[in-house]
Amino acid sequence: MFKPFSETSLSILELAWIIKDILPKGVFNVVIGRGPQSGQYLLAHPKLSKFAFTGSTEIGLTVGKKAAKKIIPCTLELRGK
């Protein structure tokens, strides 16, 4: 699953439309919505097996802790521009 930044959702949806016939069904899934609600949905998803997050250190700390509790790999890219 892929959750883009809320201001880039349309470009990611266009990408998903372009590659829909290239990748097998279910390989690339897009979740759109504003930060906390959709992010919580992703972290709570039972089939989530890895999580990658780019954003603030504060939110990254929460994401890392939740991933650790689920014992899944987590990649965090924090504070960078």
Q: Do 30 and 4 touch, CB atoms closer than 8 A?
A: yes
Q: Is the separation of the CB atoms in 74 and 52 below 8 Å?
A: yes
Q: What is the pLDDT at residue 80?
A: 63
pTM comes to 0.68
Collect all residues with Cβ–Cβ distance below 8 Å to 50 and sequence separation of at least 6: 72, 73, 74, 75
State how far the Cα of 27 lies from the Cα of 37, in Å rounded to an integer.
Answer: 22
Average pLDDT of adjacent 10-residue blocks, the chain of 81 residues: 77 90 88 78 85 88 91 89 59
**What pLDDT was estimated at residue 10?**
85
pLDDT at 81: 59
